[in-house]
Amino acid sequence: MAQVSATIGFEKASQPPQASRVRRPQLLTILSLVIALLLSVPVLTVAWNVFQPSSDTMAHLASTVLPDYLLNTLVLIAIVGSGVMLLGVSTAWLVTMYRFPGHRLLQWALILPLAMPAYVIAYAYTDFLQFTGPVQSLLRDLFGWQTPRDYWFPQIRSVEGAGVMLMLVLYPYVYLLSRAAFLQQSVCALEVGRTLGCNSWRTLLRVGIPLARPAIVAGTVLALMETLADYGTVQYFGVQTFTTGIYRAWFSLYDHTTAAQLSAMLLGIVLVLLLLERWNRGRQRYHHTSSRYRQLARKELRGRRRWLATLACALPVFLGFLLPSTVLLLMALDAGFDIPRFLPQAMNTFILGASTAVLAVALAVLVAYGARLQPGRLTTFASRLSSLGYAVPGSVIGVGVLIPFAWLDNSLDSWLRDTFGVSSGLLLTGGIAAMVFAYLVRFLAVSLQAVEAGLSKVRGSMDDAARTLGRGPSGTLVAVHAPLLWSSLLTAGLLVFVDVMKELPATLIMRPFNFDTLAVQAHNYAADERLAAAATPALMIVLVGLIPVLLLSRAIAQARPGENGKCG
């Protein structure tokens, strides 16, 4: 930031004061604020509806199903939160600190479940564990059982089953951030723990986890936000949560105010989670007193422990990716694996994903570059406000977008009818414009984070050099930053594209009539209990989702700085 300020000051002193060159950073600041305020409209709309008079529908829900919404949501949070921390932290510590058979393969394979949407894994496990599925059929053949009354089998379609499904695909959030934190920990701190008599697991509990606490909590919070945003899994399992209530209030009861108020309650739970984490952390800081690092001395496990470590790391990969992928592939092959049948939905998905990705990258560049040129409270506020949507469930954003956009559509149509006698129709909500806007609200934070990370690696001296050669802010962005940021921009666009492709709640709420995506098509078939037909679009989603997962795996492997440094 200091280099940027020095750059601007140098330009003013050495070159004639040109109005355009002075105003451009200010213009970027204004654009950043406008972008942030527009993207905050859905959240503000939902918050505004809290103060609207409650309808009879809301009173009825409060006396009947609202307690179930709250209880099931809290149970899901408890199951997923504890599960992702256990799986994510333990596997990250094992592959980072120890050597055992398959540890090199498993350190990237543990990320694979991130490519599997929760509702997709729910379809696979339902087919695998149902009464006519291979597991129960094998048990009946082995023990001679005839009917379900002859034996007990856990019910997959339950709030506990939904929690396990979400846990299996969301633990990579904790794994990724925990492993990055473990890779960057000082060897000195770990060795001090050992000199004080701590064995391997005590070192993890007393040194590793406390130092990695911000990363662990951040990954857990991300997983819990995805849990609160989930619709496909809980709806398919018949579990009543706030997301299913929002969808039912909007489409079955046609009560937009009640849907918005339920959205506000769900948003309140998200805010409570964030505030609890901030309060619990307090003023504590987690950093190293030395900037020098040396390579981690990974301990070679021997005997039975080496195979237990392999099993502990391989089991989440098998349950979260390999088994459901195999089940989906077998179901798709049984149904003919008719990819051409789903090409229209694939094209719709591609159009939505590509449009959102391009716009998200462009807006992220404007916001991040504005913060680089004009650092201050306004640009920081714009950046934070633009990222707010990622913490908001897709169903909440869908409701928050449809209410103002429908009002704009109706107002414009009424004005044109009264003034010119023509009808504009539904310009915003009748096409994909409102959907793309909702996706931007939801996923701009993903793009912004990647672009900001890329910009932070570009030295301020390069901006100085470009300015001395007569390049203005826009010229510097095009000639200097864009080539250096190309990989970051590509990664940002790819991540947004895949997130849009997997998004289900916002798509279900906002899609125009007769406009289906792969996610919607898979959901519709599964809702009709046609799991074999749902397997092909679900598998297509998983295959495309593997691309950013492999990119993340490559990036995390290079996370440790100063491999040849000395311990400080």
Quote the DSSP letter at residue 54: P
CA 170/CA 79 separation, integer angstroms: 12
Q: Percentages helix, strand, coil for the chain, rounded to the nearest 5?
A: 75, 0, 25
Domains and CATH numbers, the chain: 1-39+342-509 (1.10.3720.10), 44-334+517-555 (1.10.3720.10)
pLDDT: which is higher, 58 or 241? 241
pLDDT at 198: 58
Greater pLDDT, 222 or 164:
164
Cβ atoms of 504 and 394 closer than 8 Å: yes
Lowest mean pLDDT among 258-267, 284-293, 511-520: 284-293
pLDDT score of 196 more than 80: no
Give kind and range of the element (H or E) at residue 406: helix 394-420
Mean pLDDT of 321-326: 93
Neighbour-count burial for 258-280, b at 16+ CB within 10 Å, e otherwise:
bbbbbbbbbbebbeebeeeeeee
Rounded mean pLDDT, 141-152: 86
Q: Is 50 helix (H, G, I), strand (E, B) or coil?
A: coil
pLDDT, greater one: 14 or 135: 135
Between CA 495 and CA 492 the distance in angstroms is: 5
* Model pLDDT for residues 498-531, shown as the tens digit of each residue: 889 888 888 888 888 888 899 999 988 888 888 8
Three-state DSSP class for residue 99? strand
The region, left, alpha or beta by phi > 0 then psi within -120 to 50, assigned to residue 27 is alpha
Residue in 265, 256, 269 with CA at minimum distance from that of residue 227: 269
544 residue type, one letter = V
Give the pLDDT confidence score for residue 290 in this predicted structure: 47
Q: Is 238 helix (H, G, I), strand (E, B) or coil?
A: coil
Predicted pLDDT at 560: 46
> For residue 459, what is the enclosing H or E element?
none
Residue 422: pLDDT over 80: yes
Asked if residue 262 has pLDDT above 80, the reply is yes
Q: Which two tokens stand for residue 432?
A: 């994909």
Higher pLDDT, 374 or 419: 419
481 vs 80, higher pLDDT: 80
Q: What is the mean pLDDT of residues 119-138?
A: 90
Phi-psi region of 376 (alpha: psi -120 to 50; beta: other; left: phi over 0): left
Q: Which tens digits make up the pLDDT trace of 348-392?
A: 999 999 999 999 999 988 888 888 877 878 878 888 888 778 777
Given a cut of 80, whether residue 9 has pLDDT beyond it is no
Sign of CA dihedral 248, 251, 253, 257: positive
Per the CB < 8 A criterion, the answer to whether 157 and 175 are in contact is: no
Beta partners for residue 299, in sequence order: 98
Secondary structure of 410-456 in HEC code, one letter for each residue: HHHHHHHHHHHCCCCCCCCCCCCHHHHHHHHHHHHHHHHHHHHHHHH
- CB atoms near residue 455 (< 10 Å): 19
Q: Which two tokens stand for residue 515?
A: 């406009």
Tokens of 566: 């000395």
Which DSSP symbol is given to 206? Answer: I
Of the chain, the percentage scoring pLDDT greater than 90 comes to 17
Rounded CA-CA distance 454/427 in Å is 37
For the ranges 9-13, 126-130, 211-215, 393-397, the one whose mean pLDDT is highest: 126-130
Whole-number pLDDT of residue 558: 55
Each residue's pLDDT tens digit, 33-53? 888 889 888 888 887 877 777
Going by C-beta distance under 8 Å and a sequence separation of 6 or more, which residues neighbour residue 405?
A: 428, 429, 434, 437
% of the chain at pLDDT higher than 70: 84
Q: What is the DSSP string of 254-317?
A: --HHHHHHHHHHHHHHHHHHHHHHHHHHTT-----S--------PEEP-THHHHHHHHHHHHHH
* pLDDT interval class at 394 (50, 70, 90): confident
Confidence of residue 193 (pLDDT cuts 50, 70, 90): low
pLDDT band at 283 (very low <50, low <70, confident <90, very high): low
Q: Which carries the bigger pLDDT value, residue 233 or residue 257?
A: 233
Mean residue pLDDT of the chain comes to: 80
Please report, for residues 89, 353, 499, 557, the alpha-carbon distance to residue 111 in angstroms, rounded to integers and kept in the order given.
13, 22, 16, 12
Q: Is the pLDDT of residue 492 over 80?
A: yes
pLDDT for the residue 58: 83
* pLDDT at residue 280, rounded to an integer: 62
> What is the rounded CA–CA span in Å between residue 112 and residue 318?
10
Assess whether pLDDT exceeds 90 at residue 274: no
pLDDT tens per residue, range 64-118: 888 999 999 999 999 999 999 999 999 988 888 888 999 888 988 898 898 888 9
SS3 471: coil
Beta bridge partners of 467: none
Helices (H) and strands (E) in the chain, counts: 28, 2
Report whether 496 contacts 360 (CB < 8 A).
yes
> What's the pLDDT band for 303 if we cut at 50, 70, 90?
confident
Q: How many CB atoms lie within 10 A of CB 506?
A: 30
Cβ-count burial of 150 within 10 angstroms (0-12 exposed, 13-18 middle, 19+ buried)?
exposed
